[in-house]
Structure 1
Amino acid sequence: MTSNQHEAISAEDVKDYLRNHPSFFEKNATLLTEITLPNPHGSGVISLTERQQIAQRDKIRVIEAMMAQMIVHAEENDATSAKVHKLSVKLLNQQSFSALQTLIAETLKLDFAVTEPLIRIWVKPSNSAIIQDAVFTHVSDAFNEWVMSLTQPYCGAKPEVMGDLVDSKLQSFVIIPLGKIAADQRPFGVLILGSSDKDRFKAGMGTMYLEHIGELVATALLNHLFALNL
């Protein structure tokens, strides 16, 4: 024998050989039952064929679980779309500023599981009769600037810049900049959705529906605050 023949055969050598000789097990079919492997789901050993069958069943279970999760997400999205549509219809039918605010708060609580919604507006309305409303309560300049810097809804724990604007029982938040006024590209206010559940709103969660809600609320508010062609 040559020195090369005495060298140990590595696992890679075996794998390469089997890849390059796909007919090997056809010519040596009995090996499929003779080779035994540890049972991945229990004690003892099983044949190579049985191990392959188990692997296939495991793959099928994973695929089935993924499909089930996709169906759940699709159903959740359909339900959320229906709720957003219902909100848009209700917003169109409010005749007063106070009725609009009541509707927004009640709908967000009942349909979207928000513990406490809050609106703050920092521009002066053309309707002076509503200037004393709580939504025009002053917010800090730092929070104002922070909201204006957002390019999409913020989701997560309470940002330090929000200070004592919200109840201390609230643990997670969505903060949505509200709309634009004419050529001014800066938001005219903010919609805050607070939850007592620290895991209700998390960083990285999808914001598409939140953006839609923000647009609907902003448009409805503007219709009552300003005489604009939206």
Structure 2
Amino acid sequence: MDSANPKKDGLPSESEVARYLRNHPGFFLNNEDILAELKLTHQTGKVVSLLERQVEILRERNMDMRGRISNMLDNANRNDQLFERSKKLILNLIEAKRAEELSNILCRHLVNDFDDIDYASLILFADPSRLGSSVLRVVSPEQAQQQIGSLLRSKKAICGVLRAEELSFLFGKHADHIGSAALMPIQAGNLDGVIAIASKNPQHFKSSMGTLFLEYIADVVNRCLPKLMKGPFL
């Protein structure tokens, strides 16, 4: 006996009836008179026939399926756009002739071609007197550890809301306009550094978001940058 729906007057429980109908899906085909007599109460309180209720359920499922398909198409479209923009960025990085040009291409394309990226920077950790230039930003490893050492410790991409002093180090005069940011450590030959991107939107970069795209771009920079650098530090 079903404890949740005990039998009354020797009649089968609701679960037994449900189990029987599931095991005999053709039952109502041979008992159409019973099917015609079945009535259901709608959420509005209106009594409707089983057929009407089935049509309503199918309509609701159809609307839900349309919504899911629409979301899938939107995601596919966004992924296509991301792929094309990433391909354009990577091809331009490969064609760079100097480290300064690579840095400029990277930051310009990230800001201009990708949604909600308002600021970008590439920072290398080395002796500024040996590697510095007017375009390529270079800071000493000691300064980097002092300013963003906690962000570099895991050697993995980090997303979220950063401290004011970290934003100031990464983005300079733009720090006050940044709501959220992401950064990825790089290792180009023997030269360490970081790629940092930021959005004015505090909700855009979250700790829970994926970092595959940023890691992918960092891999490309790691491969391209050493070929453009000169000096014993590589």
Q: State the shift of 1:227 in Å.
A: 6.4
What is the alpha-carbon distance in structure 2 between the residues aligned to residue 75 and residue 82 of structure 1? 11
Q: 1:189 aligns with which of 193, 204, 212?
A: 193
Contact 1:170-1:196 within 8 A present in 2 as well: yes
Counterpart residue number, 1:150: 155
Q: Deviations over 1:120-168 (max 9, x none)?
A: 222348x9252685332632347235324134x2222226883642403
Greater relative CO, 1 or 2 (CA 8 Å, sep 6+): 1
Contact 1:179-1:219 within 8 A present in 2 as well: no
Inter-CA distance 14–142: structure 2 relative to 1 (3 Å threshold):
farther
Match of 2:33, as an amino acid?
T
Q: 1:210 aligns with which of 208, 211, 214?
A: 214
Contact 1:148-1:177 within 8 A present in 2 as well: no
What is the alpha-carbon distance in structure 2 between the residues aligned to residue 220 and residue 179 of structure 1? 11
Q: Deviations over 1:36-70 (max 9, x none)?
A: 22335x56222112212222222222222222222
Unmatched tracts of structure 1, length 5 or more: none
What is the alpha-carbon distance in structure 1 between the residues aligned to residue 93 and residue 8 of structure 2? 83
Q: State the shift of 1:188 in Å.
A: 0.9
Contact 2:131-2:138 within 8 A present in 1 as well: no
Percentage identity across paired residues of the two chains: 24
Contact 2:152-2:185 within 8 A present in 1 as well: yes
Pair 1:44-2:33 in alignment: no
Match of 2:210, as an amino acid?
G
What is the alpha-carbon distance in structure 2 between the residues aligned to residue 226 and residue 12 of structure 1? 78
Match of 1:171, as an amino acid?
G
Pair 1:26-2:26 in alignment: no
Q: Deviations over 1:62-90 (max 9, x none)?
A: 22222222222122112111111111222
What is the alpha-carbon distance in structure 1 between the residues aligned to residue 8 and residue 67 of structure 2? 49
Q: State the shift of 1:223 in Å.
A: 2.7
1:15-94 mapped onto 2 (5 Å cutoff): 15-40=18-43, 44-94=46-96
Aligned-partner SS, 1:71: helix
Counterpart residue number, 1:174: 182
Instruction: State TM-score, norm by structure 2.
Output: 0.76
Aligned-partner SS, 1:30: helix
Inter-CA distance 85–16: structure 2 relative to 1 (3 Å threshold):
closer
What is the alpha-carbon distance in structure 2 between the residues aligned to residue 159 and residue 14 of structure 1? 63
Instruction: State TM-score, norm by structure 1.
Output: 0.77
Q: State the shift of 1:206 in Å.
A: 3.1
Inter-CA distance 131–106: structure 2 relative to 1 (3 Å threshold):
closer
1:76-115 mapped onto 2 (5 Å cutoff): 76-113=78-115, 114-115=117-118
* Count, aligned residues: 219
